Amino acid sequence: MKKQAEMPRRLGIIAGGGLLPAKVAAAARAAGRGVFIVGLDGFADPAVLAAWPHEMRRFGAAGRIIASLREHGCQDLVMIGPVRRPSLLDLRPDVEAAKLLARIGRAAFAGDDGLLVAVIRVLTEEGFRVIGAHEIISEAVAPSGVLTAVTPDAQAMADIGRGIQVARLLGSADVGQGCVVQQGLVLAVEAIEGTDAMLARAGALRRDGIGGVLVKLVKPAQDMRADLPTIGPQTVRHAAAAGLRGLAFEAKATILADREACLAAANAAGLFLLGLDPETDEGDLQ
């Protein structure tokens, strides 16, 4: 007897800012999946989500978010798009959110990666399968090697090597994913403010002479299902405004939000984009 093909699992998307939630939705729909999006108030752009079945919910309404995902038959979940972590005072948790916070425990006061791991665990306990956005939009994952017309020279590679060391230390402490290095000097490290604010700070601190580089890496113990490093056209433009010469990021673990636009912005500004393979490149750059 011929086995009946299984229906694709319906995908729920918990959406932060930017265009990536809609890109994930489009890729899932193209693969035959049903899609429902919960946009987080103050972060997700309703105009970006307008073409998809969705509703907007505040961050602290976890009970309503989970209920909506269940009501729409979502089995798999993706969390995608930048979200600024709210304070507990701003969170105003509903009853279910307060219960979830109790289950998350001390991780609520840990770094972002520790919190996300705890959130994924709780969502799994609630019956959802949490998957990474890179599993849906694999074509957006950065490849290894130089992607642009400009290539990094010896000074840039030395700065990248220094940046890898610093980013690994930051990641081990669950602080951030990136840093800016110029001529061996660490101009800025990424923390809660995010990449764009870090680049603005680095631009104000840049030295005369050869420009620096941005390095972004996955945290050593990071769960690949959430908060992967993301590079978009705006990141490239901000790097150019900060006087940098290029961006280096972990290949196969970084999302290029719009690859063509990223490459166009980098080539127009004379910047390089370099996908690092940590298994083969890191030792050469130390």
145 and 127 inside one domain: no
Residues 126 and 224 in one domain: no
CATH of the domain at 225: 3.40.140.80
Q: What gap in Å lies between CA 225 and CA 210, rounded to an integer?
A: 37
Asked if 69 and 160 sit in the same domain, the reply is: no
Question: Is 69 domain-assigned?
Answer: yes
What pLDDT is stored for residue 241 in this prediction? Answer: 97
For residues 59 and 171, membership in a common domain is answered with no
Residue 1 lies in a domain: no
On whether the CB atoms of residues 62 and 96 are closer than 8 A, the answer is: yes
Cα(192)–Cα(178) distance, integer angstroms: 11
| Within-domain flag for 245 | yes
Residue 283 confidence (pLDDT): 44
**Residue 138: what pLDDT?**
86
Distance between CA 88 and CA 108 in Å, rounded?
9
pLDDT by residue (tens digit) across 30-50?
999 999 999 999 889 999 999
Pair (124, 254) in one structural domain: no
Instruction: Answer yes or no: do 173 and 109 share one domain.
Output: no
Q: Total domain count for the chain?
A: 2
**Residue 47 within a domain:** yes
| Residue that finishes a domain, picked among 135, 167, 191 | 135
Residue 261 confidence (pLDDT): 94
Residue 171 sits in the same domain as residue 270: yes
Mean pLDDT, all residues of the chain: 87
The whole-number pLDDT of residue 174 equals 82
Is residue 208 within 8 A of residue 200, CB to CB? The reply is no
User: What tens digit of pLDDT does each residue of 210-247 get?
Assistant: 999 999 999 887 778 877 889 999 999 999 999 999 99
Phi/psi at 100 (nearest 5 deg)? Answer: -65, -40
Residues of the domain holding 183? 141-285
Q: Identify the domain boundary among 102, 135, 168.
A: 135
pLDDT at 10: 93
Q: What is the pLDDT of residue 281?
A: 55
* Mean pLDDT by groups of 10 residues along the chain of 286 residues: 65 92 94 94 93 90 89 94 67 70 64 70 90 90 96 97 95 90 96 90 95 94 82 96 97 92 97 86 50
Asked, for residue 84, whether it belongs to a domain, the answer is yes
Q: Say which CATH number the domain at 56 has.
A: 3.40.50.20
pLDDT score recorded for residue 278: 65
Tell me the three-class secondary structure of 153-211, residue by residue: CHHHHHHHHHHHHHHHHHHHCCCCCEEEEECCEEEEECCCCCHHHHHHHHHHHCCCCCC
Q: Please identify, among 84, 114, 135, the residue that sits at the C-terminal boundary of a domain.
A: 135
Looking at residue 77, what is its pLDDT? 95
pLDDT at 47: 95
State residue 95's pLDDT score. Answer: 73
Q: Are residues 113 and 219 both part of a single domain?
A: no
